[in-house]
Amino acid sequence: MIMKGRAIFKGKAIGRLLVLDEAFSFLGGVDPRTGLLTVASGREGESIDNRILVFPHGKGSTVGSYTLMDLKKNGHLPAAIINAEAETIVATGAVMAEVPMIDSIDISLLREGDRAVVNGDSLDMMDLVERKVVTCVLRRKGRILLLKRSQKVGTNRGRWAGVSGFIERGERPEETALREVVEETGIATARLEGRGGTLRIRDGTYVWTIHPFLFEVGDEEPRLDWEHTEFAWVEPKELSGYDTVPGFQKVLGTLGL
C-alpha cells in the first residue's frame, strides 16, 4: 500500500518503523553519540539507527536541528523521518543532515516494526493491503440497522455492522452503495440521504478505505442473505452493547449520527 505525503527532503530509504506516539525533540530525546533514545523520549535504550522514525511532530529547541548533524557525524542517523505535520526544527535538521523526510501522512495507520520504503513523497507500506469499501447506514425513525456478520464472510465474523461491500473496478462508491443495500437487505426503496467523509481504518494487515452513506427507509424489514445471521434496529447511543466492526463508530460520526 502506497501513501502519498509531502516530501520535506527527497530521498530513498528502506527499513522498519520505530513509532513514537508523542511529539519528539532530537535535543534530549536521543543520545547523538550512540543513537539510543533517552528517558525524555519515553523509549529509553532503543536505537534509531537505520529505522524509519515516525512521530506526530517535533518540539523543543532549535538546537535539535544540530543534534541531527551530530547523529550524522557519529553514524547514527535514522533511515528516514515520517511526520503527521512537519515543524521547522526537525525539517531544517533533516535537510541539513540529508535524511529523507515526509509529512502529511496519517500516522495512525502505522505500527511499530512495519516494513516500509520511502521514495520521494511516497511511503510504501510493504505489508499492508488497502481494501476500498462502502459502509451504508440505514435509518428508520431515528434507529439504525445493525447486521450480524455470518461465519461465511471473510472478515469480522460474528460482529455487527452496517451494509458493506467492496467497490468494484470502474464503479463509483454511490453505485456500490445502492447495489449493496438491495443485495444485503432486499430493501429497494431506501432513499440516499447523505454521504460522510472518507475514512481509513487499520485492522491487522488491512487498511479499509471506507466511503460512508446514510439511507432513510420505511417500515419494510430486511431480508437477510448469506452474509448475515441477525439484524437489529437500535439507537446510536445503544451501540456500546454490540460488538461492532472496527471503525463503525467513526462511520456514524462522519454521518452526523
Active centre residues (catalytic)? 61
Cell digits of residue 56: 506526530
Q: How far is CA 181 from CA 191, 197, 254, in A?
A: 10, 19, 19
Largest pairwise CA distance in the chain = 71
Q: HEC profile for 123-168? A: EEECCCEEEEEEEEEEEECCEEEEEEECCCCCCCCCCEECEEEECC
Phi, psi of 116 (to 5 degrees): -150, 160
Sign for the pseudo-dihedral over CA of 217, 221, 227, 233: positive
Q: Reduced to 3 states, what is the DSSP secondary structure of residue 29?
A: helix
Q: Is 17 helix (H, G, I), strand (E, B) or coil?
A: strand
Within 8 A by CB and 6+ apart from 45, the residues are: 36, 37
Per DSSP, what are the bridge partners of residue 214? 137, 194
